[in-house]
Amino acid sequence: MRRWAGCTLLLLLALDVAVALNPFALLFCKATGKSCIATVPCPEEVTSMLDVDKHKLEAMKNQMILQMKEGLAGGDSPMLMLPTHLSQKPTGAETGSYLALDLGGTNFRVLKVVLKGKGKFDVHSSKHKVYLSP
């Protein structure tokens, strides 16, 4: 399963590029009140760019791992990474209340996570609009 995680990410990135190059590749319609997807064939020039052999895919995966490691080490990497500061993997037996704060450009998000042990938890969240004074 882990081996295919990188492939899935690359596939999603490739689909994102394909849609960016051919915005009509996916058309979402809601005329009937239902969600439906209509597909239009991608031009050959787009599909040929997405044809990646095993060796090229392996090289792309290795480059992504290298850039992630460089980003975590604070090196010159286009992939900005933040260390987690976790000393061990969670067991599910953890207990306590924790806050997560996220101040973005337009929203301030607050999450309170209550860990109850035995893998049980509650999450309470709120989102607040950030208003900048002139």
pLDDT tens per residue, range 95-107: 999 999 988 878 8
In a domain, 79, yes or no: no
With b for 16 or more beta-carbon neighbours within 10 A and e for fewer, the 67-100 pattern comes to beeebeeeeeeeeeeeeeeeeeeeeeeeeeeeee
**pLDDT at residue 12, as a whole number:** 52
Cα–Cα distance, 105 to 131 (Å, whole number): 9
Q: Residue 104 and residue 90: Cα distance in Å, rounded?
A: 27
The answer to the question of residue 20 being in a domain is yes
Select the more confidently predicted residue: 9 or 124: 124
pLDDT surpasses 50 at 49: yes
One domain for residues 59 and 27? yes
Residues 125 and 66 in one domain: no
Classify residue 90: in a domain, yes or no: no
Residue 25 lies in a domain: yes
- Are 10 and 63 in the same domain? yes
Residue partners of 116: CB distance under 8 A and separation at least 6: 95, 122
The predicted pLDDT at position 7 comes to: 44
Question: How many domains, the chain?
Answer: 2
Tell me which residue range forms the domain holding 42.
Answer: 2-72
Instruction: Say yes or no: 63 and 7 in one domain.
Output: yes
Distances (CA, A) of 125 to 45, 101, 114, 115, 130: 45, 10, 11, 14, 16
In a domain, 89, yes or no: no
Q: What is the DSSP letter of 9?
A: H
> Is the distance from CB of 115 to CB of 96 less than 8 angstroms?
yes
pTM to 2 decimal places: 0.40
Q: Is 130 helix (H, G, I), strand (E, B) or coil?
A: coil
Instruction: Read off the tokens for 20.
Output: 């960016």
Note whether 108 and 102 are within 8 A (CB). yes
Instruction: Report yes or no on 51 lying in a domain.
Output: yes
Structural domain contains residue 17: yes
The answer on pLDDT for 117 being more than 70 is yes
Whether 120 and 58 map to the same domain: the answer is: no
Give a yes or no: residue 77 inside a domain: no
Query: Same domain for 61 and 108?
Result: no
